[in-house]
Chains A and B, each alone.
Chain A
Amino acid sequence: MSRAEAAGTVRPVSPLWTFGLLRSELTTTFRRWRTLALLAVLAGVPVLVGIAVKIETGDGSSPGGGGGGPAFISQITNNGLFLVFTALAATLPFFLPMAIGVVAGDSIAGEANAGTLRYLLVAPAGRSRLLLTKYATVVIFCLAATLVVAVSALTVGALLFPLGDLTTISGTQISFAEGLGRALLIALVVAASLIGVAALGLFVSTLTGSGIAAMATTVGLLITVQILDQIPQLHALQPYFFSHYWLSFADLMREPVYWDDLAKNLGLQALYAGVFGSAAWARFTAKDITA
């Protein structure tokens, strides 16, 4: 009875309503101190990396010695733009998905925890639409978080190191403008790499009424998968882990670009988004909201 009737009477409402809902969700999310703190931490990583490399190479030695450290670190001193790639490579395995896990895990469970979920549902938006809005908010947060890292890295890189034409990892030269274009493309790919975790977090969030539990579970799953991805015996399973192809964004710096792994990564993220997104929908639309 309930839902269908309620939704039925709601349908004629302007579709712009969704955007109103999205806007209010976005303001709520991005105004939270927690979100701002997360973004500040993310912005701090490139600063740390940049300063560390600057200090280490102050005497003219090359950073990263025999090729250790995060990807691209040895090129930073020659071209500040590489700090963008290094910073993304450094934050992608843990900092970025952790931030996403916190925001996604909090999205439904946090509302339930604070007792505000039922008020949200009183508004004539429908559960599916609310869930979609929540997911859109998390995805936008993915993009925002990635761009915060990239922009912070670009600023620090420009301040501390020279900019100019850059050498791709294949050894060919590209202009600075094209380099910037690739940096933007890489940021988009990194953001897209996170939508799988976002969907997973959203699903976990619909399972529990405690925001903390949802965040902890999501981040815990993330760490577990990252560890399992390192175990050689699980070789056969690893291509299905959402984090397995994350570092493939570096393939955009090859000339010509090597698309195989990039395509696998994006396909895998879409699959996770589809499976866990619809699972979240199945759970959320059928759930008894008690808080």
Chain B
Amino acid sequence: MAPYASDDNTTAGEVDEQRSGRRKAARYVVPVTVMGVAAATIGLVPALADSGDPDLPKITAQQLIEKIAKSDVQQLSGTVKITTDLGLPDLGGLESSLMSGAASPDKGGSSADPTSKLTELASGTHTLRVAADGPDKQKLSLLENAAEYSIVHNGKDVWGYDSKSNEVYHGTASDSPTHDEQQPPATPKDFAEEALKAVDDTTSVTVDGTARVADRDAYRLVIKPKQSGSTVGAVTVAVDAKTGMPLKFTLTPASGGAAVVDAGFTQVSFAEPAASTFDFTPPKGAKVTEEKAAEKKAFDKKAFDKKAFGKAEKSPERAPKSEEDLGKGLDGMKTIGEGWNAIATFDTGGEGMPSGEAGGDLGGFVNSLGDKVTGKFGSGTVFSTRLVNALMTDDGKVYVGMVTKDALVKAANAGN
């Protein structure tokens, strides 16, 4: 407003300037208010929406476990958020190349192969969508940036579809990779079932109040190892009060900090999903990889590797069983201890360090990840994650378990 600001007399102008200066500043209240309201909304709405823990009739742990066992949810669809933090060193690209290398022994493996894809779940945060309609129709989708990886099981067909590379993997249901045993656990239900398998006299199971998960009322079942020395702090399962379906699974390490595995529904519906959800026809021009007999064999081996890995790393409770699996592959496999503190031990019979196995270049690198320990058994290297620790002695013995470093050393000492 230059024309007005110019020719007034000085005093009036000064007063004016002061007043208009204040008025100018006052205008900035508007954007600041908008920002403040937004910040308050972001901060307060979740707090307000969290209406506290629901009031539910008391229930004993035994009843709750029975409820889970009886739970027969055939139809559901929902979104699962899964966060895994195993405390593996962040190797970035190297890790994924190692993973995919391990997962597809024969080059030219399809990127739509379920095994290679689900390995990604081992670290980071992922969003999954699940849908099920009876035992013959299931769908599991891994949501990626502008892409999605889906496994569709419909009748005898199992399809894996990777939208990013437009590749399709086709198998049959009888020995399909989605078949329960071969698929790493992904939904809270899978995890909870594994956790409940481990319930024995070394475990305390309690009901610890209630919670609200995915807009549903749920009981919190807490599973804790009774013995000390385990790296597992507690396993918490939120169980839907109505259907008995596990809605959220959290595994916290004894060392504290963030959960190692946290898998929970963010949204769930028990209505029948649309039939078209389970229809899959390979898109035109997509590269379809058929599950071949030869590949199947390789795949079985993969699945075996995965089982060992998946069980040891992800679901502690499977450890005793995974030893059986491992035992098949490695002679001289022994288990020390029981329950949560079980330690698997075997003799590689060779040099202590895995430099040969892990490939020349990696040898030194792998070494740098471990900590040197010494004890009555001699000396060795401990590789630790937040859940699983492994001790490899210099004379080639390996001790693996979900126990603390000290417990491993003690076991090694006792073993000598």
Contacts and interface: CB of A to CB of B under 8 A. Distances in A.
A288 interface: yes
A286 B23 contact: yes
A173 interface: yes
Interface string B274-313: 0011011101111100000000000000000000000000
A288 B27 contact: no
A275 B34 contact: yes
A274 B34 contact: yes
A272 to B, nearest CB: 10
Contacts of B4: 1-2
Contacts of B285: 62, 75, 77-78
A255 to B, nearest CB: 7
Contacts of B321: none
B398 to A, nearest CB: 34
B146 A66 contact: no
Q: Interface range on chain B: under 10, 10 to 19, 20 to 34, or 35 or more?
A: 35 or more
Nearest to B141: A170
A169 B163 contact: yes
Contacts of A276: 31
A271 interface: yes
Contacts of B145: 71, 247, 250
B165 A66 contact: yes
Contact of B31 (A121, A167, A254, A278): A278
A79 B150 contact: no
Contacts of B150: 170-171
B101 to A, nearest CB: 14
B147 A2 contact: no
B249 interface: no
A40 interface: no
B367 interface: no
Interface string B137-155: 0000101011110101000
Contacts of B129: 170, 258
B147 A288 contact: no
A172 interface: yes
Nearest to B145: A247
Contacts of B2: 118, 288-290
A196 to B, nearest CB: 13
Contacts of A281: 27, 30
B353 to A, nearest CB: 32
B414 interface: no
Given A67-B111, A78-B283, A289-B1, A275 B146 contact: no
B31 A172 contact: no
B77 to A, nearest CB: 8
B376 interface: no
Nearest to A60: B285
B162 interface: yes
Contact of B28 (A62, A77, A271, A282): A282
B410 interface: no
Contact of A78 (B20, B281, B284): B284
A71 B141 contact: no
B16 interface: yes
A169 B148 contact: yes
B383 interface: no
B30 A282 contact: yes
A121 B38 CA distance: 33
Interface string A1-21: 111000000000000000000
A89 interface: yes
B24 interface: yes
B159 interface: yes
B35 interface: yes
Given A271-B38, A279-B31, A67 B164 contact: yes
B146 A71 contact: yes
A286 B27 contact: yes
Given A254-B143, A255-B277, A171 B161 contact: yes
Contact of B162 (A67, A172, A290): A67
B5 interface: yes
B166 interface: yes
B286 A78 contact: yes
A269 interface: no
A124 interface: no
B31 A282 contact: yes
A44 interface: no
A285 interface: yes
Interface string A254-286: 110010000000000001001110110111011
A126 interface: no
A218 interface: no
Given A172-B276, A286-B23, A64 B35 contact: no
Residue of B38, B79, B163 with most chain A CB atoms under a 10 A cut-off = B163
A258 B284 contact: no
A95 interface: no
A134 to B, nearest CB: 17
B333 to A, nearest CB: 38
Contact of B147 (A65, A71, A118): A71
Contacts of B141: 170-171, 254
Nearest to A162: B284
A171 B159 contact: yes
B16 A1 contact: yes
Q: Which 7 A-B pairs rank lowest in CB-CB distance, beginning with the nearest? A: A71-B146, A250-B146, A282-B27, A286-B24, A169-B163, A167-B283, A67-B164
27 contacts: A2-B1, A2-B4, A62-B285, A62-B287, A64-B165, A65-B165, A67-B147, A67-B164, A67-B165, A74-B166, A75-B283, A78-B284, A118-B2, A164-B284, A170-B150, A171-B141, A171-B152, A172-B279, A173-B279, A258-B127, A275-B35, A279-B30, A282-B27, A282-B28, A286-B27, A289-B2, A290-B2
Given A169-B148, A289-B1, 14 more contacts: A67-B147, A77-B285, A78-B166, A167-B281, A169-B163, A171-B280, A173-B281, A247-B146, A250-B147, A254-B148, A274-B34, A285-B27, A286-B23, A290-B2
